[in-house]
Amino acid sequence: MAVQKLRSGVISRIARLIDFRIDERLRDLNGRVNDLEHATADHRRRLDGAEGGLEHARGDLRWTRAELDRLIPSVAAQEAQLEDLRESLSLPAHADKPELAEARSLIQEIQRQHAQIRVRLAGIARYEDRLRRLEETITVPAGE
């Protein structure tokens, strides 16, 4: 009887120790799972923000593309005008002085407008490059 009492005491102590260890591990695991759930929620929120920013950048890129498509014919027309004027000036001039002055002022105006368009196109190209780099940054996860 004493042996049986001793055996049941040892068994109950071992059972309590096992239960304690299991409860301790479960608390640790519950804490880790909770932390991972918070991290996952944070990652989802950040991903949603990044996708929204990417969609905004795509909209800006579409607008920029439309503006570029709108400006290209104007630039081409002005280049053609400028070339026609250069050709007409290289021909022997049969015009009087006021017509030559007017032609030169027209050429200068076209050159000024052409320079402005080049500056705008360069700005658009820089903007598109920024958008491209932003898209690459968003599509490649950090840490890779």
> Per residue of the chain (144 residues), what is the pLDDT tens digit?
788 888 888 888 898 889 888 889 989 999 999 999 999 999 999 999 999 888 999 999 999 999 988 888 888 888 888 888 887 776 655 657 788 788 888 889 988 999 899 888 888 888 888 888 888 888 766 554
Number of helices (H), then strands (E), in the chain:
2, 0
Give the span between the Cα atoms of 109 and 94, in whole angstroms: 22
Provide CB contacts within 8 A for 127, sequence distance 6+: 60, 64
Q: Show me where the domains of the chain are located.
A: 1-81+98-139
